[in-house]
């Protein structure tokens, strides 16, 4: 098979790495890929939201399966275009991807179908939102409706911060039209969990649990990012929580999608909060998590391409998905300044040399030129390790982080701690 992976971050590097292990695969292309991916796949310079360019490329090259990593092309309808042209694609269509593309759509869907989530109100007018900013007390959560690369969520501890956040989204338009509508949301206290699920429209199968660290600084301080580290399994995900998730969330979501005529085929990401009042859904994403994928895929025993084929062919119920019982930990190394402005083009040192067993350095924002790797994004590397315990995986991951250097590198010291 020829496989095209769309995207160029750490998640896509992990996808390419896992796909390259499939005996079914003879050639992998990545669009646009990155420095690390270029060692495993042929990178082509097509932007990940150039839906028509990507479909043309898939036709010209006779691609057998296209795997879409990021949300933007999915929300832009890449799967619909590929399906229209008879090209096999892993990822939901544009309407289904609205579960991530519009937080207002997602929250309304949850409310309508009694899927547990925090209370919320939707506002289109700044003055109106300002007037109601205290309806759930403080702290409060303010969210831009549309896509904002994981940064459109503001947790405001008091009225001043809330007003400032609202102004950034609705007046200063920090996220452009993504801020046409805002959600004011009840602040939920608890511990976060990520559950990724394979969905083929009829069957939904959860992967292993993970924990993502969204804030930039240790002890969950500072602004939200795309994710600064992860580990799997998530130790707070007990068998009781698993039962609750399957029965009171996952099954309801599948049923609700059927009722709404949403034919979801791909990965559905559940961002969850375990609260004193049960598990609640914080968000849906319409794709693999980044950096959750970096810790989940090393634990998957199956051939990922076989699983993806089953998703596209709606035969997920016929396969058994198996996981290694080992733990994995991923520490993200980011550029100085991220998640705000940051510089690119710093030389990365310490990547060469023999790969240590059970350590995987997934590249997120890197570029390779004449054998030298340069930083090329906010999140630069996802340094991942597996171990017999979380502690062992953590030590290996941090050991590898310490051997890698680039100017201004920042990373959290408390991942999986």
Q: Which is nearer to ligand AMP, 16 or 193 (CB)?
A: 193
Q: Which is nearer to ligand AMP, 78 or 153 (CB)?
A: 153
Q: Which is nearer to ligand AMP, 139 or 350 (CB)?
A: 139
Where in 204-223 is the site for ligand GLY (CB under 6 A)? 212
Q: Which is nearer to ligand AMP, 17 or 270 (CB)?
A: 270
Part in contact with ligand AMP (CB under 6 A); list of ranges 45-53, 78-86, 181-189, 342-350: 181-189
132 Cβ contact partners less than 8 Å away, ≥ 6 residues apart: 121, 123, 184
The token pair that represents 297 in the structure block? 């895929």
The token pair that represents 106 in the structure block? 């997602």
Q: Are 115 and 338 in contact (CB under 8 A)?
A: no
Out of 147, 188, 307, 308, name the contact with ligand AMP by CB under 6 A. 188
208 binds, among ligand GLY, ligand AMP, none (CB under 5 to 8 A by kind): none
Residue 292 CB, shortest distance to ligand GLY, in Å, is: 6
Of the candidates 3, 2, 16, 53, the residue with the CA atom closest to the CA atom of residue 364: 16
Out of 4, 30, 141, 199, name the contact with ligand AMP by CB under 6 A. 141
Out of 22, 38, 224, 328, name the contact with ligand AMP by CB under 6 A. 224
The token pair that represents 359 in the structure block? 């350590």
80 binds, among ligand GLY, ligand AMP, none (CB under 5 to 8 A by kind): none
Using CB under 6 A as the binding rule, whether residue 283 contacts ligand AMP is answered as yes
Per-residue HEC secondary structure of 175-188 comes to: CHHHHCCEEEEECC
Q: How many helices (H) and strands (E) does the chain have?
A: 13, 21
Q: Which is nearer to ligand GLY, 165 or 289 (CB)?
A: 289
Out of 36, 101, 227, 298, name the contact with ligand GLY by CB under 6 A. 227
Using CB under 6 A as the binding rule, whether residue 150 contacts ligand GLY is answered as yes
Part in contact with ligand AMP (CB under 6 A); list of ranges 31-39, 179-187, 307-315, 329-337: 179-187
Q: Are 99 and 42 in contact (CB under 8 A)?
A: no
CA atoms lying within 13 Å on the CB side of residue 197:
26
Site string for ligand GLY, 270-309 (x = CB under 6 A): ---------------x---xx-x-----------------
Bridge partners, 65 (sequence order): 3
Q: At which residue do the structure tokens 């590249």 appear? A: 363
Q: Are 400 and 339 in contact (CB under 8 A)?
A: no
CA atoms lying within 13 Å on the CB side of residue 329:
23
Supply φ then ψ for residue 157, to 5 degrees. -80, -20
Using CB under 6 A as the binding rule, whether residue 118 contacts ligand AMP is answered as yes
Helix (H, G, I), strand (E, B) or coil at 204: strand
Q: What value, to the nearest 5°, has the Cα angle with vertex 222 and ends 184 and 273?
A: 50
Positions touching ligand AMP (CB under 6 A) are 118, 141, 143, 153, 155, 185-188, 192, 214, 224, 271, 282-283
Residue ranges in contact with ligand GLY by CB under 6 A: 150, 212, 227, 285, 289-290, 292
């Amino acid at each position: 098979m020829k496989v095209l992976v769309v995207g160029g971050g750490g998640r896509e590097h992990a996808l390419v790495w896992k796909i390259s292990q499939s005996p079914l695969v003879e050639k992998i292309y990545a669009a646009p890929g990155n420095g690390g991916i270029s060692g495993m796949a042929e990178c082509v310079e097509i932007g990940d939201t150039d839906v028509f360019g990507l479909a043309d490329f898939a036709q010209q090259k006779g691609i057998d399966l296209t795997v879409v990593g990021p949300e933007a092309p999915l929300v832009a309808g890449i799967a619909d275009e590929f399906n229209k042209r008879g090209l096999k694609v892993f990822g939901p269509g544009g309407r289904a991807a609205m579960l991530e593309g519009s937080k207002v759509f997602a929250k309304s869907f949850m409310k309508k179908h009694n899927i547990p989530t925090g209370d919320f109100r939707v506002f289109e007018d700044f003055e109106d939102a300002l007037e109601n900013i205290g309806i759930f007390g403080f702290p409060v959560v303010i969210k831009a409706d549309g896509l904002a690369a994981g940064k459109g969520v503001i947790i405001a501890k008091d009225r001043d911060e809330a007003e400032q956040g609202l102004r950034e989204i609705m007046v200063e338009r920090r996220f452009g039209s993504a801020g046409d509508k805002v959600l004011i949301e009840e602040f939920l206290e608890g511990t976060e969990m990520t559950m990724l699920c394979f969905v083929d429209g009829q069957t939904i199968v959860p992967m292993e649990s993970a924990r993502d660290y969204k804030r930039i600084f240790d002890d969950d301080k500072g602004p939200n990012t795309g994710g600064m580290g992860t580990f799997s399994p998530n130790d707070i995900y007990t068998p009781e929580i698993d039962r609750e998730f399957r029965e009171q969330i996952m099954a309801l979501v599948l049923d609700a999608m059927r009722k709404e005529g949403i034919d979801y085929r791909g990965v559905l990401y559940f961002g969850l909060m375990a609260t004193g009042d049960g598990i609640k859904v914080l968000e849906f994403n319409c794709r693999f998590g980044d950096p959750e994928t970096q810790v989940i895929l090393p634990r998957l025993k199956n051939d990922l391409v076989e699983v993806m084929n089953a998703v596209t062919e709606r035969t997920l119920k016929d396969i058994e998905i198996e996981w290694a019982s080992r733990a994995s930990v991923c520490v993200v190394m980011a550029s100085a300044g991220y998640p705000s402005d940051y510089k690119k083009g710093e030389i990365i040192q310490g990547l060469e040399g023999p790969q240590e067993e059970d350590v995987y350095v997934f590249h997120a924002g890197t570029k390779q030129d004449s054998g030298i790797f340069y930083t090329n994004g906010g999140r630069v590397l996802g340094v991942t390790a597996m171990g017999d315990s979380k502690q062992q995986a953590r030590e290996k991951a941090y050991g590898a982080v310490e051997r890698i250097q680039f100017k201004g590198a920042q990373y959290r010291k408390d991942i999986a701690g």
